[in-house]
Amino acid sequence: MDSIYFHDTMQGKKVEFEPRIPNEMSMYVCGLTTSNDSHIGHARTAIVFDVIRRIFRKNGYKVKYISNFTDIDDKIIQKAQEENSTAQEVAERYMHRYIDVIQKMHISEPDMYPKVTDHIPQIIEAVEKLIKNGFAYESSGDVYFRVRKSEEYGKLSKKKLDELISGARILPGEKKEDPLDFALWKEAKPGEPFWESPWGNGRPGWHIECSVMALKYLGNHFDIHGGGQDLIFPHHENEIAQAEGITCAKPFCRYWIHTGWVTLDKVKMSKSIGYVFRIKDALKHYHPNVLRYFFLATLYSSPLEFNVEAIERAGKNVEKIATSLRRFRDVKLKILLKSPLMKGNSWNSFLVYSNEYHYHLRDNFNTPAAFGTIHVTLRELNRVLDDIESLTSTTMKKIESYLEDFFETLGFVDIEDTTFVLDTSDITNALRDVVVSFDIELPDGVLSLDDLVNRLIQKRTEARKNKDFALSDEIRDQLLKHQIVLEDSQGKTTYRLEKQ
Residue numbers 265-294 binding RNA by CB under 7 A: 266-272
Grouping H, G, I as helix, E, B as strand and the rest as coil, residue 159 is: coil
Of 432 and 438, which has the nearer Cβ to RNA? 438
Between residue 341 and residue 400, which ones bind RNA under the rule CB under 7 A? 360, 363-364, 366, 368-369, 371-372, 375-376, 378-379, 382-383, 386
Between residue 409 and residue 468, which ones bind RNA under the rule CB under 7 A? 464
Min dist. Cβ of residue 266 to RNA (A): 5
Of 24 and 380, which has the nearer Cβ to RNA? 380
Going by C-alpha positions, the residue among 80, 77, 51 that lies closest to residue 65 is 51
Alpha helices in 344-424 (DSSP H): 348-362, 367-386, 393-409
CB-neighbour burial class of residue 196 (10 A; exposed 0-12, middle 13-18, buried 19+): exposed
Of 198 and 205, which has the nearer Cβ to RNA? 205
Segment holding 31, helix H or strand E: none
Please tell me whether residue 500 binds RNA under the rule CB under 7 A. Answer: no
Q: Choose which of 110, 202, 234, 344 interacts with RNA (CB under 7 A).
A: 234
Of 61 and 69, which has the nearer Cβ to RNA? 69
In order, the DSSP letters of 443-490 are -SS---HHHHHHHHHHHHHHHHHTT-HHHHHHHHHHHHHTTEEEEEET
Between residue 134 and residue 193, which ones bind RNA under the rule CB under 7 A? 157-159, 163-164, 166-169, 182
What mask of x and - would describe binding to RNA in positions 58 to 97, judged by CB under 7 A?
------------x--x-x----------------------
Of 133 and 229, which has the nearer Cβ to RNA? 229
Contact region with RNA (CB under 7 A), list: 37-45, 107-115, 125-133, 414-422: 37-45
Helices (H) and strands (E) counted in the chain, each on its own, are: 16, 15
Alpha helices in 59-189 (DSSP H): 74-83, 87-104, 120-132, 161-164
Going by C-alpha positions, the residue among 231, 228, 238, 214 that lies closest to residue 258 is 228
Q: Are 38 and 95 in contact (CB under 8 A)?
A: no
Min dist. Cβ of residue 409 to RNA (A): 16
Of 157 and 428, which has the nearer Cβ to RNA? 157
Q: Which long-range contacts (CB under 8 A, 24 or more apart) does 454-462 make?
A: 456/431, 457/486, 457/493, 457/495, 460/486, 460/493, 461/493
Cα torsion angle, 410, 415, 421, 426, sign: negative
Min dist. Cβ of residue 154 to RNA (A): 9
Of 229 and 454, which has the nearer Cβ to RNA? 229
Please tell me whether residue 309 binds RNA under the rule CB under 7 A. Answer: yes
Q: Choose which of 8, 17, 26, 45 interacts with RNA (CB under 7 A).
A: 45
Min dist. Cβ of residue 472 to RNA (A): 4
Contact region with RNA (CB under 7 A), list: 26-34, 137-145, 424-432, 451-459: 26-34
Please tell me whether residue 33 binds RNA under the rule CB under 7 A. Answer: yes
Question: What are the b/e assignments for 266-291, b being 16+ CB within 10 Å?
Answer: eebbeeeeeebebbeebbeebbbbbb
Of 233 and 407, which has the nearer Cβ to RNA? 233
Of 67 and 395, which has the nearer Cβ to RNA? 67
Q: Are 242 and 211 in contact (CB under 8 A)?
A: yes
Contact region with RNA (CB under 7 A), list: 57-65, 89-97, 315-323, 449-457: 315-323
Q: Choose which of 113, 195, 233, 407 interacts with RNA (CB under 7 A).
A: 233
Bridge partners for 29 per DSSP: 67, 226
